[in-house]
Structure 1
């Protein structure tokens, strides 16, 4: 741990690209309405025993009636460090909290009335050909999908 920086370290070099969903096709009118909002969580940089850190990539998406998935953004992520580097396993709840926290607006960009950036997601959706309001997004189920590499990090003793 670097005490000069309070334990903070730079994001690993290989952070960009790995674990991120490609943008995929834009939506069209025949794809129908949005039926769910969610995020895919994958390992971006595997567990590093010397630093006690692992980095995750997050991509937020919309699922449409046609079955098409429209990726809205893939620039978010989170690096998690464990003091002493003793364990690389987590509870599903810990991972969920890490990921949902990383998807919130950056400090200073947030609207206290809107804890999740629904307006921003609706704007991103419009650029991808999906017409949806922030209120509609807020009312939909929110799915958090753990890719296989993330699933292997969940402690098996968790109920």
Structure 2
């Protein structure tokens, strides 16, 4: 299935799509999640901050197996603020968490599910994990903000 067929497109600042995602030792999937991290400064837009989003499967042995590392989002600000100024007033931890969740959802309204469970199951199986879309539906989904994101949010 191509990116166009699956209803999403890689973010221009995202990591190389699945380039280093090799099979792993099997394990039982006990959760899913997304890690949000700061992307390097965009020279073409100093009034914006980009974030990468990496989706993972959490295993019962505490491993996190990357399923997808080609997602991301960008937020911008105006009113004369620059990258060295405080974080824009409208940006809060909850809004970054929600933007992270939005980044892992399909880009179109044609997908009836709230999350692309079948696609995640396919990605997990490609990594060597034995799991179905139905197995994933009932698992917890966590959003992890890296220390860099938390520091960025804490700017005075």
Local SS of the residue matching 2:67: strand
Once the two structures are TM-superposed, the CA of residue 68 in structure 1 deviates from its matched residue by 2.1
1:81-116 CA-to-partner distances (Å, cap 9, x unmatched) read: 1232535252111101111111111226x412x111
| Unmatched segments (≥5 aa) in structure 2 | 1-10
1:53-92 CA-to-partner distances (Å, cap 9, x unmatched) read: 0000011000111222210010000011123253525211
Once the two structures are TM-superposed, the CA of residue 153 in structure 1 deviates from its matched residue by 2.5
Matched residue, 1:67: 62
Change (3 A) 1:95 1:68: same
Alignment check: 8 A CA contact 1:118 1:137 kept? yes
The residue correspondences of 1:111-126 to structure 2 (distance < 5 A) are 111-112=111-112, 114-126=113-125
Q: Which has the higher contact order (CA 8 A, sep 6+)?
A: 2
With normalisation by structure 1, the TM-score equals 0.73
The residue correspondences of 1:10-89 to structure 2 (distance < 5 A) are 15-17=13-15, 23=20, 26-29=23-26, 31=27, 33-46=28-41, 51-84=46-79, 86=81, 87-89=86-88
With normalisation by structure 2, the TM-score equals 0.74
Mapped partners of 1:85, 1:136: distance in 2: 48
Alignment check: 8 A CA contact 2:14 2:69 kept? no
Superposed CA RMSD: 2.8
Q: How many residues align?
A: 139
Mapped partners of 1:137, 1:85: distance in 2: 45
Of stretches 88-97 and 142-151 in structure 1, the one that deviates more from structure 2 is 88-97
Mapped partners of 2:49, 2:116: distance in 1: 25
Change (3 A) 1:26 1:94: same
Matched, 1:91 2:92: yes
Once the two structures are TM-superposed, the CA of residue 25 in structure 1 deviates from its matched residue by 5.6
Mapped partners of 1:51, 1:81: distance in 2: 9
